Chain A
Amino acid sequence: MIRWLLIGVLAVGVTGTAVWGYQEHQEKNAILVQAENSYQRAFHDLSYHTNLLHDKIGTVLAMNSQKQLSPQLADIWRITSEAHNDVGQLPLALLPFNKTEEFLSDIGEFTYRTAIRDLNKNPLTDDEVKLLENLYKESGKIEKELRKVQYMVLNDNLRWMDVQLALASDDKTDNTIIDGFKTVEKNMEGYAEGDLGPTFTGASQQNHEYQFLNGENLSEEKAREKTKKIFEIPQGAKVTMTKSGKGAEVPTYSLSYRSDKKNGYMDMSVKGGHPISILVERDLKEAKLGLYEGSGKAKDFLEKYKYKQMENFQSTQYDEVGVYNFLHVQDDVRIYPDSLQVKVALDNGDILGLSARDFLMNHHKRSIKDPKISEEEARSNVNPNVKIQEQHMAIIENDLNEEVLCYEFLGTLGESTYRIFINANDGIEEKVEKLKQAEMKFE
């Protein structure tokens, strides 16, 4: 009797486990299929978009009138962005595919700039046409290679999940898809950014890399001395100092200390010993100082380290911390590229941080010419519904990464506040920003 009972229980148990296992297996497969499908979709989209890209660039080469050119260029810009998105969805992060990505973003950048330009006034130059021809040729190569991979994927039923596994385990076994993408990338190696010629200056960050940094190169010894003046390193703290590697934009010394209560970190340029970034971390008590008192501390700090003519143009309180954004002011003109941030602890007024990267990259004395249009004229170029409340003169970097002199207007429309820049030479509306409002808490 007991034996039969046991057999019965076991039998039920075994069937139960089998059913459960089967269900788990089904579910796992369903999820795998779903993941596979989203990879497949991104991949086929990518192939489609590169086809389209190649065709569109081809048609642009044949076009002549501005009326047709601008929309077509804008369309190419849109397609490169889509293609770029597709790449971002594929599990390629550990595969060297950046040349191709750079190529895509270069096409995007070039077409954007030419699309927003008045081509009636400034038609495409010979160099630019040559560049387009080059882009046409290169995009043709990508198209061809990707089509080949696509054909193999479809024909041999290749799966992206295998690519992911192969990349994760980093084994050297053949994977057709990975090989295909490597070929695409290899083809791109012949293409370098320099090919774009002098009309094309690349992304803004590359424009001015600390070219105005002054001073002598500091020895490690001297740098250590200098950091001690800026930091009050607590007794018994562990201090380490390292020099940056060859990938750094500008050679730096990095000094850090750790103690029980405080951790500090500073990057200092080797040339001139300018602090690029300072961060101090410690537990903060309840705020005793207001944001206003904190801004005084920040100003004192900047003055002490010879940052002159800085204006606090924005300040924000985050609980016990005040963050202050400063701009350099030259001849009553606010220089937006020369900005830096200072962080102040509102419990005792200590300086918790400085970020002077933008300032050090861009700062130099500019020759500012008189504006060609009057303030009245500039005002008339602002949307009449905006109620202007404040104005300044400012230098900003526009969409084409050029520094331009502008009239800056702060105005309101309904409940929103806007910052509007009108070019002081030709009255073009360079930039309109809706300024950040506080966000509602959801808790």
Chain B
Amino acid sequence: MKWLRVLSILLIVCMLTISISSSVDQTSHAFSPRVLQKGSTGDDVIELQARLQYIGFYEGNIDGVFGWGTYWALRNFQKEFGLEVDGLAGQEAKQKLIDATNYDKQYVKKQINSGKDFTYYGGTPKEQQTEPSPKGGDKKKDDGPSEPTSVNVPTGYSQNDIQLMANAVHGEARGEPYVGQVAVAAVILNRVESSTFPNSVSGVIFEPRAFTAVSDGQIWLEPDETSKKAVMDAMNGWDPSQNALYYFNPNTATSGWIWSRPQIKKIGKHIFAK
């Protein structure tokens, strides 16, 4: 029976080394090589936030978006660990983090994919840091890349503003060249800024008779990705209309008055005017 015992010990040792080596593998290759900075999003930001939370620097949500909370946490970490304080997660900072913390990828991913509120502080049992799972278990995969649970939005606007404007732009300017769509979005934003129009995105869009797409219901068509991209560009400061407040299609314009506005330029079928 001796050989059996030897064999089983051998087997156990084998399995242990495999598991150890695989776990070592996981930690050393965990971070992607790119440098993270404020504004970054992605899988590696999730890891950065989890590791910073593990040692108590980061108190916000682990959401995969490198925001101000993560920025200050990283700076404080750099200060305390004697690194250059620049708010950039480069190789050195990442290595220090890997040395100082544990990252239970499976646990974090599972929580994110199940959509539960959770934290990841080291030294606290994980069961206390998450909501109890409903019976039946999750069907989603627990490993593999997770999508960030938050999203960057241009300053001063919300996701819903983007959606509403994308609807308007799609209804008004689908089929127009891309810049033409950005310009239409920019006109909406110029009106919000202007003192002679309502002061909100929704106010401008729903102003009676201001946009034909609103009057005839085309605004409720499902917008495509292009119109969303155009809206984001306009919100981020691009204005191909050059500060226009009006635009019209010369073939279908019903009002004679609109022709009296000083014209700026024509993009696609639309004439943009002051």
Q: What is the number of residues of chain B that contact chain A, defined by CB distance less than 8 Å?
A: 72
Asked if A317 contacts B152 (CB within 8 A), the reply is: yes
Asked if A93 contacts B264 (CB within 8 A), the reply is: no
Asked if A105 contacts B237 (CB within 8 A), the reply is: no
Partner of B153 from the list A39, A295, A438 (CB cut-off 8 Å) is A438
Asked if B242 contacts A252 (CB within 8 A), the reply is: yes
Q: Assess whether A94 is interfacial by the CB under 8 Å rule.
A: yes
Asked if A279 contacts B36 (CB within 8 A), the reply is: no
Proximity bits, B215-258, A CB within 8 Å = 1, else 0: 00000000000000100110011111011100000000011111
Asked if A317 contacts B149 (CB within 8 A), the reply is: no
Q: Assess whether A4 is interfacial by the CB under 8 Å rule.
A: no
Q: Which residue of B lies closest to A358 (CB)?
A: B237
Asked if A277 contacts B177 (CB within 8 A), the reply is: no
Give the distance in Å from the alpha carbon of A436 to the alpha carbon of B235 in the complex.
Answer: 14
Asked if A248 contacts B68 (CB within 8 A), the reply is: no
Asked if B72 contacts A292 (CB within 8 A), the reply is: no
Q: Assess whether B47 is interfacial by the CB under 8 Å rule.
A: no
Partner of A279 from the list B156, B238, B244 (CB cut-off 8 Å) is B238
Proximity bits, B164-178, A CB within 8 Å = 1, else 0: 000000000000011
Give the distance in Å from the alpha carbon of A293 to the alpha carbon of B40 in the complex.
Answer: 11
Hey, which chain B residues are within 8 Å of A93, CB to CB? 207-210
Partner of A355 from the list B155, B237, B255, B274 (CB cut-off 8 Å) is B237
Q: Assess whether B261 is interfacial by the CB under 8 Å rule.
A: yes
Give the distance in Å from the alpha carbon of A390 to the alpha carbon of B71 in the complex.
Answer: 12
Shortest distance between the CB of A327 and any CB in chain B (Å): 13
Give the distance in Å from the alpha carbon of A39 to the alpha carbon of B207 in the complex.
Answer: 11
Instruction: Say whether chain A's binding surface is mostly helix, strand, loop, or mixed.
Output: mixed
Given contacts A277-B238, A389-B72, contact A438 B151 (CB under 8 A): yes
Per the 8 Å Cβ criterion, residues 315-346 of A in contact with B are 315-319, 322-323, 325, 341, 343
Give the distance in Å from the alpha carbon of A102 to the alpha carbon of B41 in the complex.
Answer: 43
Asked if B208 contacts A90 (CB within 8 A), the reply is: yes
Asked if B67 contacts A438 (CB within 8 A), the reply is: yes
Given contacts A164-B209, A248-B264, A341-B236, contact A417 B68 (CB under 8 A): yes
Asked if A94 contacts B257 (CB within 8 A), the reply is: yes
Given contacts A292-B88, A437-B68, contact A96 B149 (CB under 8 A): no
Per the 8 Å Cβ criterion, residues 26-61 of B in contact with A are 32, 34-42, 59-60
Given contacts A256-B179, A289-B34, A290-B35, contact A244 B150 (CB under 8 A): no
Asked if A341 contacts B237 (CB within 8 A), the reply is: yes
Shortest distance between the CB of B212 and any CB in chain A (Å): 10
Among A247, A295, A318, A415: residue with most chain B CB under 10 A: A247
Asked if B257 contacts A293 (CB within 8 A), the reply is: no
Hey, which chain B residues are within 8 Å of A436, CB to CB? 153, 155-156
Asked if A438 contacts B65 (CB within 8 A), the reply is: yes
Give the distance in Å from the alpha carbon of A341 to the alpha carbon of B154 in the complex.
Answer: 12
Partner of A245 from the list B38, B240, B265 (CB cut-off 8 Å) is B265
Asked if A94 contacts B209 (CB within 8 A), the reply is: yes
Asked if A242 contacts B266 (CB within 8 A), the reply is: yes
Asked if A435 contacts B68 (CB within 8 A), the reply is: yes
Asked if A290 contacts B159 (CB within 8 A), the reply is: no
Asked if A440 contacts B63 (CB within 8 A), the reply is: yes
Hey, which chain B residues are within 8 Å of A94, CB to CB? 209, 254-255, 257-258
Hey, which chain B residues are within 8 Å of A318, CB to CB? 152, 232
Partner of B75 from the list A169, A249, A389, A439 (CB cut-off 8 Å) is A389
Partner of B256 from the list A170, A438, A439 (CB cut-off 8 Å) is A170
Give the distance in Å from the alpha carbon of A234 to the alpha carbon of B155 in the complex.
Answer: 34
Q: Which residue of A lies closest to B210 (CB)?
A: A93
Given contacts A88-B198, A105-B196, A281-B178, contact A438 B63 (CB under 8 A): yes
Q: Assess whether B189 is interfacial by the CB under 8 Å rule.
A: no
Shortest distance between the CB of A171 and any CB in chain B (Å): 10
Instruction: Say whether chain B's binding surface is mostly helix, strand, loop, or mixed.
Output: loop
Give the distance in Å from the alpha carbon of A245 to the alpha carbon of B247 in the complex.
Answer: 13
Q: Assess whether B263 is interfacial by the CB under 8 Å rule.
A: yes
Asked if B208 contacts A89 (CB within 8 A), the reply is: yes
Shortest distance between the CB of B267 and any CB in chain A (Å): 8
Q: Assess whether B182 is interfacial by the CB under 8 Å rule.
A: yes
Hey, which chain A residues are within 8 Å of B69, CB to CB? 415, 417, 437
Q: Which residue of A lies closest to B208 (CB)?
A: A91
Partner of B177 from the list A98, A249, A263 (CB cut-off 8 Å) is A263
Hey, which chain B residues are within 8 Å of A316, CB to CB? 39, 152, 154
Asked if B72 contacts A412 (CB within 8 A), the reply is: yes
Q: Assess whether A153 is interfacial by the CB under 8 Å rule.
A: no
Given contacts A93-B208, A248-B265, contact A323 B196 (CB under 8 A): no
Asked if B265 contacts A293 (CB within 8 A), the reply is: no
Per the 8 Å Cβ criterion, residues 196-252 of A in contact with B are 203, 205, 242, 244-250, 252
Hey, which chain B residues are within 8 Å of A353, CB to CB? 233, 238
Asked if B197 contacts A88 (CB within 8 A), the reply is: yes
Hey, which chain A residues are within 8 Å of B265, CB to CB? 242, 244-245, 248, 252, 254
Asked if B242 contacts A323 (CB within 8 A), the reply is: no
Q: Assess whether A17 is interfacial by the CB under 8 Å rule.
A: no
Q: Assess whether B158 is interfacial by the CB under 8 Å rule.
A: yes
Interface residues of A (CB under 8 A from B): 39, 84-85, 88-96, 98, 101-102, 105, 108-109, 164, 167-170, 203, 205, 242, 244-250, 252, 254, 256, 258, 263, 265, 267, 276-277, 279, 281, 289-293, 295, 314-319, 322-323, 325, 341, 343, 353, 355, 357-358, 389, 412, 415-417, 435-442
Task: Offer 14 A-B interface pairs, CB within 8 angstroms, sorted by A.
Answer: A92-B209, A93-B210, A242-B265, A256-B179, A265-B177, A279-B178, A281-B179, A290-B40, A325-B237, A341-B236, A357-B242, A417-B72, A439-B158, A441-B151
